Amino acid sequence: MTQSIKWLQDEIAARMLQKLDIIKLVVKSVLVFPDFLGAHANFLAKRFSGLRFYSAPESSLSGFNLLRFKASLLWSSKFKSCANISLDEYRKTGRIGLNDNSVDLVFSNLLIQDLPDPKHFLGECWRVLKEGGLLSLSYLGPDTGKELRAMEISALSLKTLASPWDMHDMGDALLGKGFSDPVMDMEFLNLDYESDSVLLADAGSLNLIEPVNKDSLVLAHLPKKLTLEVIYGHAWAMGKHLARAQDQLAYIDPNQIQRKTRNDAN
């Protein structure tokens, strides 16, 4: 997702924060993954004072925009500290650059639909979250851009979302990765367009189409709207030290193993 679609990132982040505002949660550290220029940082700082802020800037941020982004974090006096995590490094290695049990909240906005392996990402979120921490996420669902798929436009090369998951897929995956009490909901956003060029720009930024030569298109055949299926979810990292099953094997934290004494036997 590119900065030309920043207005959508801001809107969805605001809706995620509204949902987060009613959740009872003590947060001293947060990972925003990916992060972008927006108002969410100030909201988090106001909601959770003395916050340690880990940020994974979008790969598309560079030059002046990257400097602006860093300055927006550093100028917030309510942040205890700020540290950058590499989004590119995660895409290369599959690892979030944080130690186990590092943060109380992972805030992920409009990322999962572009990941080839969302389950692995959920596993990494589980790893870096502290016991009792919360994962809050949003992503685009499979009905996004359905108007483009319904039309036959030979000059338009459509792309399939890397992970076209519905909310039931995500709920099952969260449980499978050990998260507790997942809550999922979904809404459709309908975008109306008067300009074909703007529609094409947004569709490209959303990774719904390949780069296109607008001169080769019969613009009258383009739809005048796009549907976005936006899925929201949150789930808790509870019972991280309890026995868990994976690949038909049981894993037990060594701290759970206690030697039985004679007094215990009696």
Q: State the DSSP code for 72.
A: H
* Backbone phi, psi, residue 245, to 5°: -105, 140
The confidence score (pLDDT) of residue 215 equals 61
The confidence score (pLDDT) of residue 46 equals 78
pLDDT digits (tens, 9 = 90+) for 67-100: 555 555 555 545 555 677 888 899 999 999 999 9
What is the bridge-based pairing of β-strands 180-192 and 51-57? unpaired
The confidence score (pLDDT) of residue 40 equals 80
The confidence score (pLDDT) of residue 90 equals 94
Q: pLDDT tens digits for the chain (266 residues)? A: 555 678 899 899 999 999 998 898 899 999 999 988 766 877 887 788 778 889 888 765 555 555 555 555 555 545 555 677 888 899 999 999 999 999 999 999 999 999 999 999 999 999 999 999 999 999 999 999 999 888 876 667 888 899 999 999 999 999 999 999 999 999 999 999 988 888 888 998 999 988 776 665 555 578 899 999 999 999 999 998 775 545 444 444 454 444 444 455 44
Q: Calculate helix-pair angle for 40-47, 6-21, nearest 10 degrees.
A: 20
pTM over 0.85: no
CA–CA separation, 34 and 29 (whole Å): 16
Q: State the DSSP code for 24.
A: -
Q: Judge whether 104 and 131 are in contact, CB under 8 Å.
A: no
Token duo for residue 259 = 């030697």
Structural domains in the chain plus CATH codes: 3-145+162-199+230-265 (3.40.50.150)
Residue with tokens 């998951």: 165
CA–CA separation, 161 and 91 (whole Å): 16
Report the candidate in 72, 108, 104, 71 with the shortest Cα–Cα distance to residue 90.
108
Q: Judge whether 94 and 65 are in contact, CB under 8 Å.
A: no
Longest Cα–Cα distance of the chain, Å, equals: 86
